[in-house]
Amino acid sequence: MSDCETELVTRAERELIQAFRAHWRRILIRHLDGDRCTEEQAAFLAGSPGARRHLADCFFSYPHACSLAILSEDEVRRCLQPWLRHAAEHVARELDPDDPKWEAALSALVEAPYVTVIEPLGGGDPLVMPYPGTSHAACYDDLYERTAAGCSVGARLFVYWSTGEPFGYSERRSTQAGIRNDFRAGAAEAADDEDWEIDFEDHDEHAVIAHICERMVDDASA
């Protein structure tokens, strides 16, 4: 990485941290103004509407907002360590800091519930996007479009809380169910009749990791 590229990545990291602090301070102010901050529950990955509602209520609760809004820049950097570098490198690679989309991309990453990092199985640079996406970040929001649509052969998908916090056991299982549901709904909408396989890895407490690929068919049994 050249000195110029390193400088852009450092700038993106710094501005992501600043955007994170500003976002959670706005959420806290809304609470103090009497707004319960009931956000769109459909944005959360879970196995049922009740689980989505629970995740949304916890994520945007006053205690959670308060704990995040008071963090220093160094504390935010430590919190976001699981995905911060990936996101900064992606934004620095894809966008010019003078482009209005630069600031919009940074804000979208910290304002969404999740950050996804996608490693295409066919090769290429990792893709880093907020989930759900925004109009400047993705034409299609579902995980099928991100990992398996078109000529894709699948991907390794990392789903992080945008706050960088670890997933509890029940959150992890619920998020895994949500990933399956979101992917299958997207495949059905696209009329994709391929047999996609989704396997999960549990070794990283900060990420729900899914390996998505076409199921291999044994020629002998076909």
Residue 116 lies in a domain: yes
pLDDT category at 136 given cuts 50, 70, 90 is very low
Residue 50 lies in a domain: yes
Domains in the chain: how many in total? 1
DSSP, residue by residue, the chain? --HHHHHHHHHHHHHHHHHHHHHHHHHHHHHHTT------GGGS--SSHHHHHHHHHHHT-HHHHHHHHT--HHHHHHHTTTTHHHHHHHHHHH--TTSHHHHHHHHHHHHSSEEEEEEETT----EEEEES--TTT-S--SHHHHHTSTT--EEEEEEEETT-PPPPHHHHHHHHHHHHHHHHHHHHHTT--S-EEEEEE-S-TTEEEEEEEEPPPPTTT-
pLDDT(164) > 70: yes
What integer pLDDT is reported at residue 2 of this predicted model? 82
What integer pLDDT is reported at residue 48 of this predicted model? 92
DSSP, residue by residue, 186-210? HHHHTT--S-EEEEEE-S-TTEEEE
Residue 135 lies in a domain: yes
pLDDT(211) > 80: yes
pLDDT(139) > 90: no
* Full domain range(s) for residue 12: 3-214
What integer pLDDT is reported at residue 220 of this predicted model? 47
Q: pLDDT by residue (tens digit) across 59-77?
A: 999 999 999 999 999 999 9
Residue 40 lies in a domain: yes
Residue 221 lies in a domain: no
Residue 219 lies in a domain: no
Residue 222 lies in a domain: no
pLDDT(218) > 70: no
CA 197 – CA 211 distance, rounded (Å): 8
pLDDT category at 37 given cuts 50, 70, 90 is confident
138 or 91, greater pLDDT: 91
What integer pLDDT is reported at residue 134 of this predicted model? 62
Mean pLDDT of the 147-163 span: 89
Mean pLDDT of the 10-27 span: 97
To the nearest whole number, what is the mean pLDDT of the chain? 90
pLDDT category at 222 given cuts 50, 70, 90 is very low
pLDDT(219) > 50: no
pLDDT(80) > 80: yes
Residue 181 lies in a domain: yes
Q: Which residues contact 166 (CB under 8 A, 6 or more apart)?
A: 205, 206
